[in-house]
Structure 1
Amino acid sequence: MTQFNGPAQYGFAERWLPRLVLAPSFLLTLVFVYGFIAWNGYLSFTASRLLPNYEWVGLAQYETLFANERAWVAVKNLFIFGGLFIGGGMAMGILLAVFLDQKIRGEGVLRTLYLYPMALSFIVTGTAWKWMLNPGLGLEKLVHDWGFTSFTFDWLVNPDMSIYTVVIAGIWQSSGFVMALFLAGLRGIDDSIIKAAQIDGASLPRIYWRIVLPALRPVFFSTLMILAHIAIKSFDLVMALTGGGPGFSSDVPATFMYASAFTRGQMGVGAASAMMMLATVAAIVVPYLYSELRGSRNA
């Protein structure tokens, strides 16, 4: 007869059951995320064009990438879009959070309205703003119908301004998310600090600028990381709003990578572009994770 050793068996199950449950997800992630990242990295060093070709060519695809004018336009647009998207989204979100933090009337309704864009996908956002900014049926036509026929707002079809339409739509989409993060941080600050500063004669704007917002430094860094990650891999918003055009004036690295790999038969160049995007994301995320882990260890 087999003797039942209760504590030992329970200890074995408690130790190994979570690992067995997580093992399939871990293996799938290992294969379909990190495995394909490694495969893509290998393709960037091969002569792949329309289909994978495993002939090793070294850095030839990266040389082609860096010599491509469209690639440099995409990089320039990434800096324009990323800087304005992150800065504008954080500024708008902070202002909305400070506004709602005043315990105003109808706060619940306003908070829902501000958060609503976050519930939409970038495809929906891009399509809606494409209609609104279209000179033939959007904002420009509406103002013309009101009698102001000299008004023009043709950014959507202007190669020099098209990337800024993506910025407008991106800030509209992200500001509610930023507001939610900062509002949660503001609600976690002790009211006695603000009251003490008011007793000392400090004005409310000065209190927020000198005391409250500096206390939200972790929220600032977290928001910066999230928005930067979104900006670098932005694809669906650009494709839905401008399609990378007119021409390739509003291309970003993600759309350039897609066009290279799937529409122009340059899979190797597209793979090289994807690896450069990965390196950019890693350059932002890895130092942040290192500082966070270092801070937790010191704590």
Structure 2
Amino acid sequence: MAEPARLSRPRRPSRLSMAALALIPAWIVVVLAYVGTVIWTVVISFTSSKLLPVYNFVGFDQYARLFASDRWQVSVWHLVVFGVLFIAICLITGFLLAVALDQKIRFENTFRTIFLYPYSMSFIVTGLVWQWLMNPNLGIQNTVRSWGWTSFTFDWAVNSGMAVFALVIAAIWQASGLVMALMLAGLRGVDTELWKAARIDGIPSWRVYTSIILPILTPTITTATVLLSIAVIKVFDLVVALTNGGPGTASEMPAKFVMDNLGQRQNIGLATAAATVMLVTVICVVSPWLYRTYFRMQGRKPT
């Protein structure tokens, strides 16, 4: 007997295709609002735009003016000093805090929350808090002098020679908790057999951390360094809230240079040139990390 003809059922769209369809509006926003804006910024940087954008291209004139600007050079130098100190001290402090919490201490959750809490605040709030603490008439200096130590000085926020270091202290206070959380997660992933073997061999704990644990934590350290580096390059709100780039230009940063030329100085061409230089810097920082984390790892997967 002939088999009865089967009724064809309409194929249902797969979950993957439905998800891709649902993401179309988000992709449109990303392409138009983000990628489009980046391309427009780069294009305007090659024009002589002032108050309003114009499209008379002048080549690399804006970049020549940018790198000849004393204010830009000062801001880049401050960024280098701020970035090196901020990243190095954050990594060291975060690692030491993670090691301390990894000792199974009492009230670990409480301490972890206290250390991580500053990261939940914006840089604006952090800047305002440390502006008050470093105010010579209201903050730590005034309090300590009221105790009788009249020679004590802590006026870094208004001291032209220490303003950059005031930014470093405030930024470290906020970001060390993030590094601690990343490092602690990495430490909790270390095989306990390594510690047992080290104890049997009589290896000191500090040697285990420096020779065994830190190499294992290399991916975590790299991730933390990239996150901190991006925060360094785009630092703006902390500067405005704490020192406003002063006294004078003692704590000027590239991001503030861009915003000042966009608004107060009304020089869009120069501002977009500086923004493009910052974009290239971010790409140079992120690209090795992306290659190491994703592309290189995917290349190792068996086919």
**TM-score, reference length from structure 1:** 0.96
- Residue in structure 1 matched with residue 297 of structure 2 by the alignment: 295
Q: How big is each residue's C-alpha offset from its partner over 1:279-298, in whole Å with a ceiling of 9 and x where there is no partner?
A: 00001111221223123312
Q: How big is each residue's C-alpha offset from its partner over 1:48-86, in whole Å with a ceiling of 9 and x where there is no partner?
A: 111112211111111111111000011001101110110
Instruction: Give yes or no for the alignment of 1:102 onto 2:109.
Output: no
Q: Distance in 1 between matches of 2:16 and 2:82?
A: 48
Q: How big is each residue's C-alpha offset from its partner over 1:84-106, in whole Å with a ceiling of 9 and x where there is no partner?
A: 11001111000000000000111
Q: Distance in 1 between matches of 2:80 and 2:7?
A: 65
Q: Counterpart of 2:11 in 1: which secondary structure?
A: helix
1:5, distance to aligned residue in structure 2 (A): 4.1
More moved, 203-212 vs 116-125: 203-212
Q: How big is each residue's C-alpha offset from its partner over 1:228-279, in whole Å with a ceiling of 9 and x where there is no partner?
A: 0111111111111111111121111100100111111111100000000000
Instruction: Give yes or no for the alignment of 1:9 onto 2:6.
Output: no
Residue pairs, 1:116-155, within 5 angstroms: 116-155=117-156
Residue pairs, 1:130-209, within 5 angstroms: 130-209=131-210
1:14, distance to aligned residue in structure 2 (A): 3.4
Q: How big is each residue's C-alpha offset from its partner over 1:97-134, in whole Å with a ceiling of 9 and x where there is no partner?
A: 00000001111111111111111111100100000011
Q: Distance in 2 between matches of 1:233 and 1:4?
A: 61
Residue pairs, 1:15-164, within 5 angstroms: 15-164=16-165
- Residue in structure 1 matched with residue 3 of structure 2 by the alignment: none
1:213, distance to aligned residue in structure 2 (A): 1.7
Q: Distance in 2 between matches of 1:15 and 1:138?
A: 57
Q: How big is each residue's C-alpha offset from its partner over 1:134-179, in whole Å with a ceiling of 9 and x where there is no partner?
A: 1111111111101111111221111121011000000000000000
Q: Percent identity?
A: 45
Q: Distance in 1 between matches of 2:292 and 2:205?
A: 32
Q: Distance in 2 between matches of 1:296 and 1:34?
A: 26
Pair 116,14 (structure 1): closer, same or farther in 2 beyond 3 Å: closer
1:13, distance to aligned residue in structure 2 (A): 4.2
- Residue in structure 1 matched with residue 287 of structure 2 by the alignment: 286
Q: Distance in 1 between matches of 2:20 and 2:111?
A: 44
Kindly report the root-mean-square deviation, in angstroms, between the aligned alpha carbons of the 2 structures: 1.4
Q: Distance in 2 between matches of 1:291 and 1:202?
A: 32
Q: Counterpart of 1:249 in 2: which secondary structure?
A: coil
**Runs of at least 5 residues in structure 1 that lack an aligned partner in the other structure:** none
1:196, distance to aligned residue in structure 2 (A): 1.1
More moved, 272-281 vs 59-68: 59-68
Pair 56,206 (structure 1): closer, same or farther in 2 beyond 3 Å: same
How many aligned positions are there?
A: 295
Q: Distance in 1 between matches of 2:158 and 2:128?
A: 15
Q: Distance in 2 between matches of 1:36 and 1:15?
A: 30
- Residue in structure 2 matched with residue 224 of structure 1 by the alignment: 225
Pair 4,59 (structure 1): closer, same or farther in 2 beyond 3 Å: farther
- Residue in structure 2 matched with residue 236 of structure 1 by the alignment: 237
Q: Distance in 2 between matches of 1:163 and 1:58?
A: 34
**Runs of at least 5 residues in structure 2 that lack an aligned partner in the other structure:** 1-5
1:207, distance to aligned residue in structure 2 (A): 1.5
Q: How big is each residue's C-alpha offset from its partner over 1:205-236, in whole Å with a ceiling of 9 and x where there is no partner?
A: 22112111211111011111111011111111
**TM-score, reference length from structure 2:** 0.94
